[in-house]
Structure 1
């Protein structure tokens, strides 16, 4: 099929997938729909739980639904495009684009644009969802800094996709198509590193801020997160491996299945955190010692009398004082210190 649509090269040649490729695509799409149902059910339950607490629209619930919708849109558009369901006479997204027929062609700029648009949303949301659970164990300022840094790095990847992937799919010239071959692998490798790095950081925080501080019940979260991180990274590897499949467009269909599975993993980690946090734990340490300040009769305390909210755990001085951890709803720490002055 020859091209010539909006921003499409006149020499564009659409290569329809073969029957065997369509069978693979249909199987992947079917698995994606099945995962989408389970994921939507879990997301719906978490949304209802948030509503019961009087927080219908939280950052977390907005992100999980944005991730789900964007992943489903990628899958539906891609499958309709590859299967030929998007015909020249079909009005696709007419309410958005005034029923412009160019969107319904194999060589349509808009088909590629919306696949890329929803992929951008999906990539940003899944990484921010991971950071959302990491921030529970971080100082708020550091958590905000991490969110901004990851957002900017992801934005660079997103912009590069519009500059490289889109011209290559439109077959502007051979140069862009050649660059895209290498860029596609590099982009997925970068996401693999970011995903692995964030999960490794969360595992590190759980180990050093919770378990090392005496909260042994978080061992379950520690080992569960290790297994889920390995599964998540294996999905990234599968996505990278799909690039080498014979069909040039088959790997695009893997996005829906991969990102929905990642979302399901993240929601299950959140559920486990909630279950563990709601089980109250009390930990007692040795007798308190207060060191006198030179030249005064006052005593200097090395810990705050009371700290609530998101904490960095543990404090170096924590083991020196009578301390009690009360974990409800979220990770909180209450420290009460009694001083006897002889």
Structure 2
């Protein structure tokens, strides 16, 4: 028998259930179709095993896996891809018959695939974007757009597959390709935005270690987009149903890319955060605890003024050596800077240094005052959080940009705040 001969011609695969067209006609399934489907299904299972391993490691590495939306998304993505691939493979082998329920199952799994995969990409973007409102709008707009497309596919694809009338079949031939191109464009736009944000918010601010992340994403994005192109190209296979078998393979490959990207972000973030961070903090603390800034001791007014001015300049110089001054200064002349601890992204509060007589002319040196009321003599002068202390779903944003309702929807932060200082959870 040749590869063009029909596969299991004696098996009854007549349609059943509601909404089946009166003139429904089964499309012949050849041995070539079975071979193609079997190869694609084997590759799907290989990628599923890889996804299970990566997902298990991220599950074990998460502080609260059952409360992490990100963890739930990756497991639901794997489950939907497996179910879709399995039922499509059994259908091609003629173990399942056409029906409204079968096509609804396939389409429902496909909707879960595209929705969750795009939200996982957005989760990666939300980790970097400091503006929570913007990242939330990206999530909402993408979900609304994809939901609208999903509804249209339900309204067109299922009637076309059930062969209710020729009009649905013709419209589906056109719209099915258009919506796949739309998904390709959305995927490309989200990945492009991620590259832009990494370069603008991290690399351009001096965190050169994230160049590795940028280069990796630039290369891997090509493979991710090729998966969408593969689905579009598979629609040219003579059997119009076979291309559906390519969906689970494509989305599992894209899921593995996203989980690898998440691991890379975490690995880069913590790679040098533990190197030199304590030394840098000690240098800043020693600067603030120096004799020039002591709150006790008798000095003349002229000496106090000179030393206070020198201390202010030295402190600002010390901070500028650690971080990057903002592009604009406030009206009162105070400089605001980002002070990394090690190579982390840190947010440094405003520092006010002043020298004036207190209690009827008694001599006192300059005092360090902070916006949140740091007491004199406290060692921790920097209240901050960094990308290094975030796991999946967290975000890098300045404290003064955080609103009352801000929260990390995907998972909790790795760190928590106690008495004005940040501590890692053990």
Deviates more, 1:26-35 or 1:280-289: 280-289
Q: Does 1:134 align with 2:134?
A: no
CA contact 2:29–2:239 (8 Å) conserved in 1: yes
1-structure distance, mates of 2:327, 2:247: 57
Q: Is the 8 A contact 2:78 2:252 kept in 1?
A: yes
Contact 2:347 2:398 in 1 (8 A): no
Matched, 1:78 2:88: yes
For the 8 Å contact 1:195–1:233, the answer to whether it is kept is: yes
Change in 2 beyond 3 A, CA 1:13/1:146: same
Cα gap change, 1:194 to 1:306, in 2 (>3 Å): same
How many Å apart are 1:203 and its aligned residue? 0.4
The 8 Å contact of residues 209 and 312 in structure 1, kept in 2 or not, is answered as no
Give the match for residue 171 of structure 1: 163
State which of 49, 52, 69 in structure 2 corresponds to 1:37. Answer: 49
Task: State the match for 1:90 in structure 2.
Answer: none
- Whether the 8 Å contact between 1:17 and 1:82 is mirrored in structure 2 is yes
For structure 1, list consecutive stretches of 5 or more residues without a partner in the other structure: 87-105, 294-298, 316-322, 336-342
**Contact 1:22–1:83 (8 Å) recurs in 2:** yes
Matched, 1:60 2:70: yes
Measured in 2, the distance between the counterparts of 1:45 and 1:158 equals: 32
Q: 2:110 aligns with which of 110, 119, 123?
A: 119
Give the whole-Å Cα distance in 2 for the aligned partners of 1:285 and 1:265: 33
Q: Is the 8 A contact 2:234 2:243 kept in 1?
A: yes
Question: Secondary structure of the residue that 2:66 maps to in structure 1?
Answer: coil
Q: CA–CA distance in 2 between the matches of 1:14 and 1:288?
A: 67
Structure 2 equivalent of residue 13 of structure 1: 25
What SS is found at the alignment partner of 1:244? coil
Q: Contact 2:156/2:168 (CA < 8 Å) preserved in 1?
A: yes
What residue is the counterpart of 2:223 in the other structure? 231
2:322 corresponds in structure 1 to 284
1:205 to 197, 202, 205: 197
CA contact (8 A) 1:16 1:82 kept: no
SS at match of 2:389: coil
Q: Report the Cα distance in structure 1 between the residues aligned to 2:166 and 2:396, rounded to whole angstroms.
A: 57
Larger radius of gyration: 2
Contact persistence 1:137–1:209 (CA under 8 A): yes
Determine the C-alpha separation between the residues in 2 that align with 1:252 and 1:152. Answer: 24
Q: What's the CA shift for 1:5?
A: 3.0
Q: CA deviation at 1:300?
A: 4.6
Q: What SS does the aligned partner of 2:27 have?
A: coil
CA distance in 2, matches of 1:231, 1:204: 19
- Structure 2's unaligned 5+ residue stretches are 1-12, 278-320, 349-381, 400-426
**What does residue 261 of structure 1 align with?**
253
Deviation at 1:2, TM superposition (A): 5.2
Residues 314 and 188 from structure 1, CA distance in 2 versus in 1: closer, same or farther, beyond 3 angstroms? farther
Aligned length: 300
What is aligned with 2:372? none
Matches within 5 A, 1:178-197: 178-197=170-189
Distance 1:126 1:10, change over 3 A: same
**Partner residue of 2:237 out of 245, 248, 269:** 245
In structure 2, the residue matched to 1:272 is 264
Q: Distance in 2 between matches of 1:292 and 1:200?
A: 34
Deviations 1:296-317 (CA, angstroms, capped at 9, x unpaired): xxx354648999xxx99999xx
Cα RMSD (Å) of the superposition? 3.1
Q: Is the 8 A contact 2:34 2:93 kept in 1?
A: yes
Structure showing the higher helix proportion among its residues: 1
Return the alpha-carbon distance in structure 1 between the equivalents of residues 330 and 46 of structure 2: 65
Corresponding residue for residue 95 of structure 1: none
Pairwise CA distance, 1:54: 3.5
- Identify the residue that residue 207 of structure 2 maps to in structure 1: 215
- Residue 339 of structure 1 aligns with which residue? none
The C-alpha deviation readout for 1:245-303, integer Å capped at 9, x for no partner, is 1111110000110010000000000000000111235772478999684xxxxx35464
Per the alignment, residue 94 of structure 1 pairs with none
Deviation at 1:48, TM superposition (A): 1.0
Secondary structure of 1:31's match? helix
TM-score calculated relative to the size of structure 2: 0.65
Q: Distance in 1 between matches of 2:325 and 2:250?
A: 52
